[in-house]
Structure 1
């Protein structure tokens, strides 16, 4: 199975990118600290003020992230399919070529860098005075920290983590863009997206377990501390998204709560 390579993907210097991340990954703590400060300061600032509409900026914001995620999902998805069909499932989990392959290396770096600007999602929630869930800001902070932390070591499992996240975000940001444009979206679409997020977290836990299992006997490069952090992260996501699913789509089905934001 041949995967078409574009010049900008082939010419991307992943060695410099990895070196930069190894030297600067801890800056993710600075981004997260600034983000948390702006989140709580922003909520305090907006208290007692009229909410801002921001419909057009939100459409552009969500649409741009949707396009980026769709392209990333297609490129990493094709490369993942190539690994699966040529080398099998175990290699797709343990393979490090996602960080250096001619097709995926650019998108791997773009993926981890994108976790910083994605923090901007929360500003729209605050300025529009919508309900800010713990799940939302906790997810943003921990994904940024773990992505930068893992990219510097090129750990096994990264290909699955990136591909799944790109795919789910392609659906999620497309949904946000359509809703921000004022178009009606059937409720089952939101259910499907949340279900996809839950499946992503369950698969993330599975891949993390397999990396731990195979790194003991096979060439499946990772570190015990990375396995621990990945397990805690994905388990917490699985519990939080499952709780959100229940509260928004199951408990609310009988009219026991208000419509979820």
Structure 2
């Protein structure tokens, strides 16, 4: 199939009530070059893993909020605890930067740069199996082969996402330590904090389990923001003075990534490469994309509300009014 600009168009996504939507649930593909046993790789992507951890986390945060009275626990005053928090932030800053660089390199190698239509096709069909439909008129693949430690690859899934995305999914479980630190300092976990962490587990699971093309957006954007954010946390943990404007800028970048990244992800639902070939190849990819978009809508609202409360005059007046009423 030759992709041309004239063949690419927008159309309504498949209805979840049609047989076509439920057909073709993709089997998880674990590339041979990924140095993780396939059974372990698949077991950690069992839906019960993120659902259980997210539920336990959300319930625990809600219950422990009742114990928060503004006074830090004794352990939070120790040098060991403070050193752990700094080490935790350094680790996540470095890990996030590693993910960002790896994903950008993988995207660069997998992206077909021969033409704009082929570039769009390589972003829609990120696996070797789905890229099989992208054939030029002369029968040659439109994909540009990248590599993973010297092993030739054909798509973004095999070239980067199966490796970096899987670890990024698991990192969402580790990130709940942020909430534990807040609670041990005697502060409450906000709805924004709880929803953000619990929802990210489910969304990354859906994206990686169903190998959905738009999940690369989440991995690249979020890893970049986290690299900057945890670097900021590291500096403040070391009592290094950081301009207040930087914190506000980080929140602005987070909101921007939700709006831009969410819009780009949603666009995948409507793109067709020709009359018969949608951008997303099966119901699993569609489900994962819908899940991420639905998650981002209230998350964006919560971040905007946080921005207004923290950085605007309206928020300052609301806090002053709340203090006077107490």
TM-score by shorter chain over 0.5: yes
Q: TM-score, normalised by structure 2?
A: 0.68
Q: Which has the larger radius of gyration?
A: 2
State whether residues 221 and 257 of structure 2, in contact with CA within 8 Å, keep that contact through their aligned partners in structure 1: yes
Counterpart of 1:115 in structure 2 is 172
Q: TM-score, normalised by structure 1?
A: 0.83
Q: Distance in 2 between matches of 1:64 and 1:10?
A: 28
Is residue 75 of structure 1 aligned with residue 102 of structure 2? yes
How far did 1:81 drift?
3.6
1:37-90 deviation per Cα after TM superposition (whole angstroms, max 9, x unaligned): 332343334448643233221101111111100111111122224445726552
Counterpart of 2:297 in structure 1 is 235
Instruction: Check 1:222–1:158 CA distance in 2 against 1; reply closer, same or farther (3 A cut).
Output: farther
For structure 2, list consecutive stretches of 5 or more residues without a partner in the other structure. Answer: 1-30, 127-154, 321-326
Instruction: Check 1:252–1:48 CA distance in 2 against 1; reply closer, same or farther (3 A cut).
Output: closer
Q: Distance in 2 between matches of 1:32 and 1:143?
A: 9
1:70-126 deviation per Cα after TM superposition (whole angstroms, max 9, x unaligned): 11111112222444572655246424233321x443211111111111111100000
| Higher share of residues assigned helix | 1
SS at match of 1:221: coil
Q: Distance in 2 between matches of 1:119 and 1:143?
A: 11
How far did 1:214 drift?
1.6
Instruction: Check 1:209–1:46 CA distance in 2 against 1; reply closer, same or farther (3 A cut).
Output: closer
State whether residues 168 and 197 of structure 1, in contact with CA within 8 Å, keep that contact through their aligned partners in structure 2: yes
SS at match of 1:198: helix
Instruction: Check 1:210–1:217 CA distance in 2 against 1; reply closer, same or farther (3 A cut).
Output: farther
Aligned residue pairs total 248
How far did 1:256 drift?
5.6
Is residue 205 of structure 1 aligned with residue 262 of structure 2? yes
Calculate the aligned-residue CA RMSD, in Å: 2.8
State whether residues 67 and 170 of structure 1, in contact with CA within 8 Å, keep that contact through their aligned partners in structure 2: yes
State whether residues 103 and 164 of structure 2, in contact with CA within 8 Å, keep that contact through their aligned partners in structure 1: yes
Instruction: Check 1:184–1:130 CA distance in 2 against 1; reply closer, same or farther (3 A cut).
Output: farther
Aligned counterpart for 1:218 among listed residues 278, 284, 289: 278
